[in-house]
Amino acid sequence: MQRIASSTTRKVLFALYGALLVLGVAVIAWQHSGQRRALQHEALSRLGGITGTLAAQLDGGRVTTLLGKYDARGSIIRNTQDAWYYTLHEALRKSAEANALPTPLRVVVYDSLKQELQVVVTSAERPAFREPYDGGAVAALKALADGPGRVRDGGALVAFDVLRDHRGRLVAAVVAAEPLAALEAAATARLWRNIGIAAVAYLLIGLLLFRSVGRWVKHEEDQRANLQQVHAGVTDSIAYAGKIQSALIPRPERYRELFDDFFVLNRPKDLVSGDFHWVHRVDEHTCYVAQADCTGHGLPGAMIAAVGCSLLNELVAQHPTADPATLLALLNRRMVSTLQQEGQRRGAGDGMDIALCRIDRRERELLFAGAYRPLYWMHDGQITVINGDRKPIGGSQHDPDRTFTVHRVAYHPGDRIYLFSDGYVDQFGGPEKRKFMAGRLNALLLEHRHMPLALQSERLEQAFLDWKGPLEQVDDVCMLGIAV
CA distance linking residue 67 with residue 171, whole number of Å: 10
pLDDT-derived band at 30, boundaries 50, 70, 90? confident
CA 217, CA 221: separation in Å to the nearest integer?
6
What rounded mean pLDDT belongs to the chain? 85
Does CATH number 3.30.450.20 belong to domain 37-181? Answer: yes
pLDDT of residue 211: 66
Whether pLDDT at 23 is above 90: no
Give the percent of the chain with pLDDT over 90: 41
Distance CA(45)–CA(52), nearest Å, equals 10
pLDDT at 382 over 50: yes
Q: Which CATH number fits domain 249-483: 3.40.50.920, 3.40.1390.10, 3.60.40.10, 1.10.600.10?
A: 3.60.40.10
pLDDT greater than 70 at residue 218: no
Phi then psi dihedrals of residue 107, to 5 deg: -105, 120
Q: pLDDT for 326-380, tens place per residue?
A: 999 999 988 888 887 775 555 446 789 999 999 999 999 999 999 999 999 999 9
Residue 214 has pLDDT above 60, yes or no: no
pLDDT, tens digit (0-9, with 9 covering 90-100), for 149-160: 888 877 788 888
| pLDDT-derived band at 241, boundaries 50, 70, 90 | low
Q: How confident is the model at residue 221, as a pLDDT? A: 59
SS3 of 209-252: the string is: HHHCHHHHHHHHHHHHHHHHHHHHHHHHHHHHHHHHHHHHCCCH
Residue 4: predicted pLDDT: 43
Identify the pLDDT of residue 272. 83
Q: Which of 55, 253, 44, 38 is nearest to 137 (CA)?
A: 44
Give residue 70's identity as a one-letter amino acid code: Y
**Which pTM does this prediction carry?**
0.53
Checking if the pLDDT of 146 tops 80, the result is no
Average pLDDT rounded to a whole number, residues 42-61: 88
Going from N- to C-terminal start, the domains of the chain cover 37-181, 212-242, 249-483
CA angle centred on 481, ends 478 and 482, rounded to 5° = 145
Is 5's pLDDT higher than 60?
Answer: no
Residue 93 has a pLDDT of 93
pLDDT digits over 421-466, tens only? Answer: 999 999 999 999 999 999 999 999 999 999 999 999 999 999 999 9
